[in-house]
């Protein structure tokens, strides 16, 4: 589409938003964009519709079809309401749990969603204030809800907000409901949205739900006697202005920990995230204040959560006395190692247990599972796929943990999404357990590498914004499919897995095998003779293409750790250069 055509198209769409269907503040905002000589904002706000996809909605807040506002979020809620009424017509009452994070407009979108559900005769069980995503997931099952909504944009910058829908098992929606709800949402026009339903169909959830949730969180403890011995473990915790501010310290206290050190500036709940550029515990910059406090207090553990408290950040002292962030793969490894080891010690490992990881996560998790006679499932990125495996095996096999590389873990199945609240408490317990054995958490991680083999993982992403960026990302995937590298860092490729075709090709024998996944996904994986795994996939929620590297190395003792790390870094850097990253 030519620029002049695109402008006319956007102006026509914007003009339709001046109708009385939209509220006065929205009309003023659209009029301002129309009258502005610089049409950049107008085009970006209207050049496409913000689509309700399998991950829900996520976008910059503001007026327009490509923005998060009460109309785009309202269409999602109206479509969900229509679908719930079709699916649960026989129930005397349909219930939906609604939660939200600390972001600007999150309460507005949550209350608006509650009003729309109520207008459709559906009971909205709305949290009285901001709450962690895992608590909303818990509430769905606890109160027998048929669905759930969380208003959050996770760790994205402050301009963003988002909307995720959940099903009756507490998990984000999967097939066939995801596609069916998407199709329903596509039919909704602003005039179809029923706003402002009766107040008596909105039930507020508060402290009573918190206590029920915390009782379940406490049940995840495997070594209460160890916590009691080391209850004064010095723990720094930061919610990075988000929803973990109350529940995470309460969870740590429920486990028995007494020395929880706060960062007052970051306990301030704010959608502007005033102390960080990005509220993402994966990024070192977001952890700077916590690190400084750790050096001041000589803390043994640093914990952080993102705005909706589903991602956990962990920082510990390494063997050089420097605080370092443990990456998401390492966090998951520590959890799985601890859970399996404690179950073996307690004699509760029966042989019907399973763990779940995502296809881009470290293969060491699979190695740990196999060696301990625990079944391993590989799924696509997203905890809804982990929850799907739990649902399919409920009552037959026992879930004992699951995670992904992006700082998410789910220690127990009373939550069916990433759960940083329980994870923070359990990670503190692991640190206490390591201390009881005369080790730091970092040394425990090194022990895992020594027992199960060393590998290092690194993720690199390339951001390409807008329509042109989306096309560039698409072309990159086409190029990798049609012209895959023959070798990386001097090691020849031996296998390619293409999840779009669900085929695995052995490049040595030429043999092809099917990949056993229910649906296709735009993911490519390259495996080399040296054991390297590289995964490539466009992000489903952000304008990025992501590259996940995992290389294997040799580690004979703790003294060799720095050398193994350096060699692995060099190998990954070499591969990134070869791939033009």
pLDDT of 414-435, one tens digit each? 999 999 999 999 999 999 999 9
Given this model, what pLDDT does residue 2 score? 60
Give the CA angle between residues 150, 155, 156 to the nearest 5°.
Answer: 100
pLDDT of 115-156, one tens digit each? 999 999 999 999 999 999 999 999 999 999 999 999 999 988
Q: How many domains does the chain have?
A: 4
Last residue of one domain, picked from the residues 174, 205, 236:
205
Same domain, 536 and 509: yes
Same domain, 403 and 490: no
CA proximity to 72, closest of 202, 196, 193: 193
Same domain, 101 and 180: yes
Last residue of one domain, picked from the residues 183, 205, 227:
205
Same domain, 308 and 341: no
| 95 inside domain | yes
| 50 inside domain | no
Q: What is the mean pLDDT of residues 286-306?
A: 98
Active site residue 270: no
Same domain, 89 and 134: yes
Same domain, 312 and 334: no
What is the reported pTM? 0.94
Give yes or no for residue 580 having a pLDDT over 90. no
Give yes or no for residue 264 having a pLDDT over 90. yes
* CATH code, domain carrying 311: 3.40.120.10
Percent of the chain with pLDDT over 90: 92
Give yes or no for residue 163 having a pLDDT over 70. yes
Same domain, 495 and 380: no
Residue 466's SS3 state is helix
| 536 inside domain | yes
CA proximity to 157, closest of 103, 99, 237: 103
Question: What would the two tokens of residue 465 be?
Answer: 């914004």
Give yes or no for residue 267 having a pLDDT over 80. yes
Given this model, what pLDDT does residue 539 score? 81
Distance CA 581, CA 578 (A): 8
Same domain, 415 and 361: yes
Q: What is the mean pLDDT of residues 276-296?
A: 96
* CATH code, domain carrying 486: 3.30.310
Return the number of other C-beta atoms located less than 10 Å from residue 499's C-beta. 20
| 67 inside domain | no
Band of pLDDT at residue 541, cut at 50, 70 and 90: low
Average per-residue pLDDT for the chain: 95
| 28 inside domain | no
Same domain, 334 and 445: yes
Better-scored residue on pLDDT, 155 or 495: 495
Same domain, 568 and 472: yes
Given this model, what pLDDT does residue 544 score? 87
Categorise residue 481: left if φ over 0, alpha if ψ from -120 to 50, beta otherwise: alpha
Same domain, 462 and 571: yes
Same domain, 118 and 241: no
Give yes or no for residue 228 having a pLDDT over 70. yes
Given this model, what pLDDT does residue 53 score? 84
Last residue of one domain, picked from the residues 402, 421, 452:
452
* Structural domain of 538: 456-578
Given this model, what pLDDT does residue 565 score? 95
| 251 inside domain | yes
| 39 inside domain | no
pLDDT of 5-21, one tens digit each? 999 999 999 999 999 99
| 522 inside domain | yes
Distance CA 380, CA 412 (A): 19
The sign of the CA dihedral 115, 118, 122, 126 is positive
pLDDT of 449-481, one tens digit each? 999 999 999 999 888 877 778 888 889 999 999
Q: What is the mean pLDDT of residues 283-306?
A: 97
Q: What is the mean pLDDT of residues 271-279?
A: 96
According to DSSP H, which parts of 149-287 are helical? 177-186, 207-218, 224-229, 244-255, 264-267
Better-scored residue on pLDDT, 525 or 543: 525
Give yes or no for residue 542 having a pLDDT over 60. yes
Question: Which residue among 106, 112, 137, 154 is the active-site one?
Answer: 154
Give yes or no for residue 1 having a pLDDT over 60. no
Distance CA 510, CA 487 (A): 16
Strands 353-358 and 398-404, bridge-based pairing: parallel
């Amino acid at each position: 589409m030519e620029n002049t055509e695109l402008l006319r198209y956007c102006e026509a769409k914007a003009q339709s938003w001046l109708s009385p269907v939209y509220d006065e503040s929205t009309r003023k905002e659209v009029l301002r964009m129309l009258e502005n000589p610089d049409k950049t904002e107008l085009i970006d706000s209207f050049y496409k519709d913000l689509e309700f996809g399998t991950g829900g909605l996520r976008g910059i807040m503001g007026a327009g079809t490509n923005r998060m506002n009460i109309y785009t979020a309202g269409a999602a809620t109206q479509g969900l309401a229509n679908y719930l009424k079709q699916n649960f017509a026989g129930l005397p009452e349909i219930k939906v749990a609604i939660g939200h994070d600390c972001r600007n407009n999150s309460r507005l979108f949550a209350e608006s969603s509650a009003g729309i559900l109520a207008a459709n005769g559906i009971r909205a069980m709305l949290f009285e204030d901001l709450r962690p995503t895992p608590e909303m997931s818990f509430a769905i099952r606890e109160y027998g809800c048929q669905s759930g909504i969380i208003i959050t944009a996770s760790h994205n910058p402050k301009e963003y907000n988002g909307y995720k829908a959940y099903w009756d098992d507490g998990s984000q929606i999967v097939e066939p409901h995801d596609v069916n709800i998407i199709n329903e949402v596509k039919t909704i026009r602003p005039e179809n949205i029923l706003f402002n339903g009766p107040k008596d169909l909105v039930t507020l959830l508060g402290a009573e739900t918190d206590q029920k949730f915390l009782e379940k969180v406490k049940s995840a403890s495997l070594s209460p006697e160890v916590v009691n011995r080391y209850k004064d473990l010095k723990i720094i915790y930061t919610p990075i202005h988000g929803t973990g501010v109350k529940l995470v310290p309460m969870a740590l206290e429920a486990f028995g920990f007494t020395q929880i050190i706060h960062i007052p500036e970051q306990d301030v709940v704010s959608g502007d995230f005033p102390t960080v550029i990005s509220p993402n515990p994966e990024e070192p910059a977001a952890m700077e204040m916590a690190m400084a406090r750790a050096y001041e207090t000589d803390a043994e553990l640093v914990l952080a959560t993102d705005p909706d408290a589903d991602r956990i950040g962990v920082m510990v002292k390494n063997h050089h006395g420097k605080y370092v962030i443990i990456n998401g793969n390492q966090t998951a490894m520590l959890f799985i190692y601890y859970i399996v080891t404690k179950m073996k010690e307690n004699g509760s490992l029966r042989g019907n247990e399973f763990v779940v990881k995502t296809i881009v996560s470290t293969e060491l998790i699979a190695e740990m599972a196999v060696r301990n006679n625990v079944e391993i499932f590989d799924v696509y990125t997203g905890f809804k796929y982990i929850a799907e495996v739990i649902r399919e095996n409920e009552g037959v096999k026992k879930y004992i943990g699951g995670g992904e590389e992006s700082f998410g873990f789910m220690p127990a199945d009373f939550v069916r999404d990433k759960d940083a609240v329980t994870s923070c408490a359990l990670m503190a317990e692991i640190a206490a357990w390591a201390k009881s054995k005369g080790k730091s958490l970092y040394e425990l991680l090194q022990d895992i590498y020594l027992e199960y083999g060393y590998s290092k993982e690194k993720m690199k992403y390339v951001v390409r914004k807008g329509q042109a960026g989306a096309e560039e990302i698409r072309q990159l995937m086409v190029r990798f499919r049609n012209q895959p590298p023959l070798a990386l860092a001097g090691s020849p490729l031996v296998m390619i897995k293409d999840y779009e075709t669900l085929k695995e090709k052995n490049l040595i024998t030429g043999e092809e095998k099917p990949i056993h996944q229910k649906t296709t996904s735009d993911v490519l994986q390259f495996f080399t003779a040296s054991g390297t795994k590289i995964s490539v996939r466009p992000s489903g929620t952000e304008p990025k293409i992501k590259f996940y590297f995992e290389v294997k190395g040799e580690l004979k003792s703790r003294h060799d750790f720095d050398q193994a790390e350096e060699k692995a870094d060099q190998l990954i850097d070499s591969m990134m250069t070869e791939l033009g990253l």
